[in-house]
Structure 1
Amino acid sequence: MIQSNLFIVMSIIAVISSQSVRGKDCVCELQNSESAFPESKLVRVEITAVECLRNISSEKRTEVDRLVLGLQHRLKQLNENVAMLEKEDNGNLYGAVSLRIIQLELAELQDLLDKLSRTNTNNQQLSTEIADQLQDMKNTMEELESFDSTMVILKQRENERIKRDLKLCEKELNATTPPPTPFMGNCGLGQMVNVSGPKIYSLTVYGTSYSFGAWGRDANPAPGDENKYWLVVLSSSNAYGHYVRQYNSMSTILLGIGPTDIHISSSNPTTNTIQGPNMVMYENSLYYNCYNTLNVCKFNMTTRSVTNVALPSDAGFNSKFPFAHLGTTYAYTDMDFAADESGVYVIYATTSNFGNVVIGKVETSTPPVLNQTWSTTLHKKTVTNTFMVCGVLYATRYLDKDTEEIFYSFDTKTNTERYDWRIHIRKMQANIKFLNYDSRDHLLYVYSDAYVLTYDIMFQ
């Protein structure tokens, strides 16, 4: 086999050698099917560009400025001379000389005005000519671009666009302003600088059946209940819920294993029914808005009893001051409940505060008591959700289906407001129906169109 292959190779070499000896060279004819590049058009564009630069030189651009400054100087001098003439005219030789000087200055002013008029006319004509030249250059370059078969120019433009987008991203990151710091410093957390995630993203055992709901952990649990999680779905009209489902761990709530259901009422809606998706669990009690009332309700998970306290008579309820954005309104979100390191808050709006947000501190006694309140200038219908961290209220708004933005804060310690936040939350679903902060693990718990999520709050 090896000898056979060697024989074939030697035969090929012999044929090539014999053809070379005979002087018969192999010639290939190369033909280019593409049109010839019109180099003359490119040269003409370069010449036109040079002429444009010469026509709009800095000297010509500043000619009008020099004439205007000259006019201003002459007018000032003329006013001074006229004032002097009026003050010191004695009707004799002095007045005649001063008047003659003024006449000469008026003649010079007229000369400057004529020059300015001619210059403006020339500049207008030049602008028209340059505009035509620029349009011709643009058309020629678009024609020449058709010869770019490898799309080099197109890729360069794409690279420039990507560079611009990166610069905008860097600018937005650098523009992120820190929140108020004094109260946060007392919590030992530092400044909030970002929200990352989601860390957890999952459907509940209910699937996509219920798009409104809430979930999380007890912000101040009893010993032994530190790992429990709770879940409430608004199973009637996306507005009402009548029981709380508890799980023993994060894994069991995600898998839907071994829940314990604790009923507040027998059906929806009726007295003490949960109304709206905003609620919070604190010291084994659920705080929420009771059905069709102004009441802050407290449901004790152990005794299965409900106590309540009423908000001011002009507070909104039944979707008078709900969370909203331009695309939609979140029904029955007049009251939002939040818990942080210091306790429970209710966030609502009143007509006396022109529909703006009011923050109320809820004392967790039985029955609960509405204690200190803070009035803000934040209109509630411009907000999609709120949460509290170390006594500071933060508000979010809807940017688009992919992004929610923390844009506002109110420090209850210093009574200072800020609207210049730019911290974004990356959404997996379009609408965030529930959002709350857990002071134990520093996570945001979110219920978004039937999905449960958590996000990390990053502190400086």
Structure 2
Amino acid sequence: MKLYAIAFQCALFTLVEQATRHDSCVCELTNSEQRFPHDKLSTVEDNASECNSNITSQKTMELESLLLGLERRLPQLQEDVAILERENDGELYGALSLQVIENEMRDIMQLIEKLNSTTLGHQRLISDTTQKVEDLKAEMEQLEKYDTMQVVKRQEASKLLQRELGQCLKGLYPTSQPTQPPHGGCPHGQFVNITEPDVNTLSEYGNSHKYGAWGQDPKPEAGKERWYWLVVMTSGNRYSNYVRRYSSKSSLIAGVSVPGNVQIHSTNPTTNTIQGPNVVMYGEALYYNCYNQDAVCRFNLTTKTVTTLQLPKGTRFNSKGNFCHLEECYPFTDMDLATDESGVWVIYTTTQDFGNLVLSKVEEGEPLSLGQTWHTSVYKQAVTNTFMACGVLYATRYVNKGTEEIFYSFDTATGAERFNIGIFIFKMAPNIYALNYSPVDQMLHAYSDAYMVSYKVLFE
């Protein structure tokens, strides 16, 4: 027994001595399990990411937008044909109306062709994605065989238990519903998207007058519910002294103004005439930035009188607080007037707010007065345009020559700001100089490099 002990000690001494001498110890490990195919897992992850990027809610909204656009255009075409049948004089009006109807039919055919191609594209995408999902499922089932200790299976069982526990707790302690619906309690629901252009026509003034605005009066006189208005900057793309009225959409497209121009002043520009393209009409009155003043003017089209509203001290004007993008700024866009379901708003900026957007409610009555004011955290010169809908301020930014993005919102009911709206406007021309929302029919009217373009606003 002593001999064995001495031999063991000698062997141990020799092993320690060798380990000390070489400063390393090497053990050979033999793994009986199969090697995990990491490259195959990486391929599966890439394919899954590709499926996620191909199937998006934007594609669904695109199809819904086309269908809604077609739904809106067909009754409008029928109405225009009926108007032509009633009012055709066999001369100039008839020829112009026929041309308008022909343009509408051409637009509808293009819409149908795009709808068909989009539907076919979606069908191919669904077929391809279904096959890829089946392949991914089979590959994942093969990879699960490497989980010999059933770690993933236990994790899935744990998640299932957590979900069931959460449902039990939700039943015991139900979440109270908010007393006020989101986005200021909009009667239409939440603003989620816009359609492709509904109206797309060059202004009767042609390409030489790129700045202007157009739309409908949300509070019209009786008998003028279908009327449209147009204001074009006729002096150096900066000033104007009249508003032009149209009795129907067909007349607007054809450029036939039966009421004609309503003049603010015979001189352009002069005191209380229009400065900048961001104007709106509400209650048979035109609201705009007064010439050479940090004030809002209201021109009553019935009495031909002008009322002014002084904005707070420090308000930027005379092209010192414009809408901009990286390539250019839009001159004399310091103030933006907007309408929605509740009335008139003015969007501007001040030196005290360091160039951030300021929003104020314009109160009707005599004298004209400024109501509640909100201060935002979005920089004015990072914005290309703004508009109001259901008490929510929306701001756009320039993406490229064909696309504008509605990226920001400010809810006046809650004070909540969002910078990730992500609704895209497909433009007919590179620059949009005015955006006006019409609560009458939920249309968004854009004046874009002399083109009048409208979009249907989609609410959830």
TM-score interval, normalised by the smaller of the two chains:
0.5 to 0.7
Partner amino acid, structure 2, of 1:390: C
Call closer, same or farther: CA 1:205–1:415 in 2, change over 3 Å. same
The equivalent of 2:319 in structure 1 is: 319
Call closer, same or farther: CA 1:271–1:191 in 2, change over 3 Å. same
Offset of 1:289 from its aligned partner? 0.1
Matches within 5 A, 1:295-310: 295-310=295-310
Partner amino acid, structure 2, of 1:201: N
Once residues 282 and 109 of structure 1 are traced to their aligned partners in structure 2, the CA distance between those partners, rounded to angstroms, is 92
Offset of 1:373 from its aligned partner? 0.1
> What does the per-residue CA deviation read over 1:54-106, in whole Å, with 9 as the maximum and x for residues that have no partner?
xxxxxxxxxxxxxxxxxxxxxxxxxxxxxxxxxxxxxxxxxxxxxxxxx99x9
Once residues 109 and 443 of structure 1 are traced to their aligned partners in structure 2, the CA distance between those partners, rounded to angstroms, is 83
- The SS at the match of 1:381 is helix
Matches within 5 A, 1:81-160: 111=24
Structure 1 segments, 4+ long, off by >3 Å, are 106-112, 163-172
The equivalent of 2:58 in structure 1 is: 173
Offset of 1:174 from its aligned partner? 8.2
Gaps of 5+ in 2: 1-15, 28-47, 62-177
Offset of 1:238 from its aligned partner? 0.3
- The SS at the match of 2:252 is helix
Partner amino acid, structure 2, of 1:265: H
Gaps of 5+ in 1: 1-102, 116-162
2:360/2:370 contact within 8 Å kept: yes
Once residues 388 and 351 of structure 2 are traced to their aligned partners in structure 1, the CA distance between those partners, rounded to angstroms, is 23
The equivalent of 1:187 in structure 2 is: 186
Offset of 1:109 from its aligned partner? 12
The equivalent of 1:243 in structure 2 is: 242
Q: Please give the TM-score of this superposition, normalised by the length of structure 1.
A: 0.63
Partner amino acid, structure 2, of 1:268: N
The equivalent of 1:263 in structure 2 is: 263
The equivalent of 2:353 in structure 1 is: 353
1:273/1:290 contact within 8 Å kept: yes
Once residues 316 and 385 of structure 1 are traced to their aligned partners in structure 2, the CA distance between those partners, rounded to angstroms, is 16
Once residues 429 and 236 of structure 2 are traced to their aligned partners in structure 1, the CA distance between those partners, rounded to angstroms, is 20
Q: Please give the TM-score of this superposition, normalised by the length of structure 2.
A: 0.63
- The SS at the match of 2:185 is helix
1:183/1:391 contact within 8 Å kept: no
Offset of 1:111 from its aligned partner? 3.9
Once residues 193 and 335 of structure 1 are traced to their aligned partners in structure 2, the CA distance between those partners, rounded to angstroms, is 26
- The SS at the match of 2:196 is strand
- The SS at the match of 1:421 is coil
> What does the per-residue CA deviation read over 1:266-314, in whole Å, with 9 as the maximum and x for residues that have no partner?
1221111100000110100110000110011100000110011111111
2:184/2:411 contact within 8 Å kept: no
- The SS at the match of 1:251 is helix
RMSD in angstroms over aligned alpha carbons? 2.8
The equivalent of 1:390 in structure 2 is: 390
- The SS at the match of 1:197 is coil
The equivalent of 2:159 in structure 1 is: none
Offset of 1:186 from its aligned partner? 2.7
Note if 1:252 corresponds to 2:251. Answer: yes
Offset of 1:366 from its aligned partner? 2.6
Once residues 371 and 185 of structure 1 are traced to their aligned partners in structure 2, the CA distance between those partners, rounded to angstroms, is 17
Once residues 217 and 304 of structure 2 are traced to their aligned partners in structure 1, the CA distance between those partners, rounded to angstroms, is 16
1:183/1:390 contact within 8 Å kept: no
1:444/1:456 contact within 8 Å kept: yes
- The SS at the match of 1:238 is coil
> What does the per-residue CA deviation read over 1:3-41, in whole Å, with 9 as the maximum and x for residues that have no partner?
xxxxxxxxxxxxxxxxxxxxxxxxxxxxxxxxxxxxxxx
Offset of 1:367 from its aligned partner? 2.8
Point out the structure with max Rg over C-alpha. 1
Once residues 440 and 109 of structure 1 are traced to their aligned partners in structure 2, the CA distance between those partners, rounded to angstroms, is 89
1:432/1:447 contact within 8 Å kept: yes
The equivalent of 2:364 in structure 1 is: 364
The equivalent of 1:224 in structure 2 is: 223
Once residues 274 and 255 of structure 2 are traced to their aligned partners in structure 1, the CA distance between those partners, rounded to angstroms, is 22
The equivalent of 2:443 in structure 1 is: 443
Partner amino acid, structure 2, of 1:252: S
2:184/2:414 contact within 8 Å kept: no
Once residues 307 and 108 of structure 1 are traced to their aligned partners in structure 2, the CA distance between those partners, rounded to angstroms, is 100
The equivalent of 2:213 in structure 1 is: 214
Once residues 320 and 388 of structure 1 are traced to their aligned partners in structure 2, the CA distance between those partners, rounded to angstroms, is 23
Offset of 1:173 from its aligned partner? 2.5
The equivalent of 2:175 in structure 1 is: none
